[in-house]
């Protein structure tokens, strides 16, 4: 027996018992191992379903273009389906995603556009907005929008849910999954609850995402949104496909927990899987510990493990990357304010005003020996940034630009972070190629900024390590 195309191999992925990590619990813990799909992740399921739904609705014709914003895995699922059906693919993604994910998409023949992570969802540069714009500009194209596309949760209702019910012979009592678009947890959870309403559906959210607080408090808190490293899960929006009515509880997992659990799954269970898998398992074990007295030997907990570790060779499975971000060893409890205190230079931030002339800014940068500065208006609000590169490019295009105001060349403002922000979240900001962040240690509503760069962070960590080792 054979399949006519690779699409016939999607689904019916195995359940694998989790032994070492769950040995202290009375219940059975199983992992639904989705890297057995041909594209290497659970997203293969929605790739084919969203394309076929678009075909049925007449949204795309033969030879057309599939457009999607993706963290990588959905793109791979769409790409293999597009190859089988004869479509072109253009994907937008963020600079947060691993190199391996982008290489996979391009290896499957897709065009990939890299967009900045650290922008609002409705910013024209965001990967959501760029995908929407491309679909408007390119004839015979469709933006599938996995976040709001109902065929996303529907395919999990039709396949993932029934598979879990059949594979556990109806014994499943708890279903644990991360949430990004919301399709996997919502569609699967809906099916399971229709079979047995007492099945517990537990969502796992990375710290920095909005789902956890929204579920528990009904509040979309923008203050809760900040960069995090775990890929493919969590959101800074509320997708239509995230059905909170299906979910019984949400737990939150920090990046460090997710990364370390990912490695433990490989070393202790032989499951070479991705970051969101580690996050889901860490969340499952955390929830089980909190509800230990409620669990019995009859309970069957299934954890959805979305993808493969081969997508993260340069990150989670790279010791240098892990160590640089404080995930491999115990990291010092360092805040942004403490980094500044360890820096020799305690001078006030050097900034430009929007109306300052470019020529004056060049002179100030030269005098101070700096290559970048924030642009701050009269209300002490950060409105932009200026760098040597931007100045040079403008002078090449227009040699008389020295008399123009800085506002004509300023770029995206440096992120403003509180002085209490801890190391892992601070390093996540600096990972985004922003050059620097502004630390606000003002009080009583006032603004008092200091510039903090990646080199400042490295220097501070070295001093902390030297102090811990008793050296000077």
Residues noted as catalytic: 43
For residue 461, give every residue at least 6 positions away whose Cβ sits within 8 Å of its Cβ, in sequence order, or none: 332, 334, 423
> How many Cβ atoms sit within 10 Å of the Cβ of residue 437?
26
Kindly report the backbone phi and psi dihedral angles of residue 269, in degrees, each rounded to the nearest multiple of 5, phi listed first.
Answer: -120, -5
Give the integer Cα–Cα distance in Å for 307 and 297.
28
| DSSP 8-state code for residue 335 | B
For residue 456, give every residue at least 6 positions away whose Cβ sits within 8 Å of its Cβ, in sequence order, or none: 339, 340, 343
* Residue 274 tokens, joined: 């991705």
For residue 159, give every residue at least 6 positions away whose Cβ sits within 8 Å of its Cβ, in sequence order, or none: 11, 45
For residue 333, give every residue at least 6 positions away whose Cβ sits within 8 Å of its Cβ, in sequence order, or none: 422, 423
Determine contact, residues 146/127, Cβ cutoff 8 Å.
no
Q: Which of 316, 311, 266 is closest to 31 using CA atoms?
A: 266
HSE, CB side, 13 Å, CA atoms: give it for residue 157. 16
Determine contact, residues 242/215, Cβ cutoff 8 Å.
no
């Amino acid at each position: 027996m054979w399949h006519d195309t690779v699409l016939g191999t999607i689904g019916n992925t195995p359940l694998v018992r989790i032994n070492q990590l769950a040995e202290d619990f009375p219940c059975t813990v199983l992992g639904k191992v989705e890297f057995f799909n041909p594209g290497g992740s659970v997203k293969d399921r929605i790739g084919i379903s969203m394309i076929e739904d678009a075909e049925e609705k007449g949204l795309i014709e033969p030879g057309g273009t599939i457009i999607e914003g993706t963290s990588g895995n959905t793109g791979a699922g769409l790409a293999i389906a597009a190859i089988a059906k004869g479509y072109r693919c253009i994907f937008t993604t963020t600079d947060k995603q691993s190199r391996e994910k982008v290489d996979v998409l391009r290896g499957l023949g897709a065009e990939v556009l890299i967009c900045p992570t650290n922008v609002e969802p409705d910013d024209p540069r965001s990967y959501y907005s760029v995908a929407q714009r491309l679909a408007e500009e390119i004839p015979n194209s469709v933006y599938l929008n996995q976040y709001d596309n109902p065929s996303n949760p529907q395919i999990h209702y039709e396949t993932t849910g029934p598979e879990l019910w059949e594979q556990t012979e109806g014994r499943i009592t708890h279903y644990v999954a991360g949430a990004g678009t919301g399709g996997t947890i919502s569609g699967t959870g809906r099916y399971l609850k229709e079979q047995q309403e007492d099945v517990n559906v537990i969502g796992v959210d990375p710290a920095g995402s909005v789902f956890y607080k929204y579920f528990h408090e009904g509040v979309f808190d923008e203050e809760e949104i900040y960069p995090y490293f775990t890929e493919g899960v969590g959101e800074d929006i509320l997708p239509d496909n995230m059905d909170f009515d299906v979910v019984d509880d949400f737990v939150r997992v920090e990046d460090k927990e997710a990364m370390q659990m990912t490695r433990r799954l490989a070393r202790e269970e032989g499951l070479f899987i991705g970051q969101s898998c580690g996050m889901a398992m860490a969340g499952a074990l955390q929830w089980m510990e909190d509800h230990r007295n409620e669990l019995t030997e009859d309970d069957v907990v299934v954890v959805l493990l979305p993808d493969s570790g081969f997508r993260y060779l340069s990150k989670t499975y790279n010791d240098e990357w892990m160590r640089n971000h404080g995930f491999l060893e115990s990291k010092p409890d360092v805040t942004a304010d403490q980094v500044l205190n360890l820096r020799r230079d305690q001078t006030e931030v050097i900034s430009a005003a929007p109306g300052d002339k470019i020529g004056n800014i060049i002179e100030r940068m030269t005098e101070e020996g700096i290559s970048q500065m924030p642009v701050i208006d009269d209300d002490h609000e950060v409105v932009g940034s200026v760098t040597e590169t931007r100045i040079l490019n403008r002078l090449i295009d227009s040699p008389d630009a020295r008399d123009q105001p800085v506002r004509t060349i300023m770029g995206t403002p440096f992120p403003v972070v509180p002085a209490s922000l801890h190391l892992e979240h601070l390093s996540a900001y600096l990972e985004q190629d922003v050059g620097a962040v502004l630390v606000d240690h003002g009080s009583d509503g006032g603004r008092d900024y200091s510039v903090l760069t990646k080199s400042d962070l490295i220097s501070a960590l070295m001093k902390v390590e030297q102090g811990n080792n008793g050296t000077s």
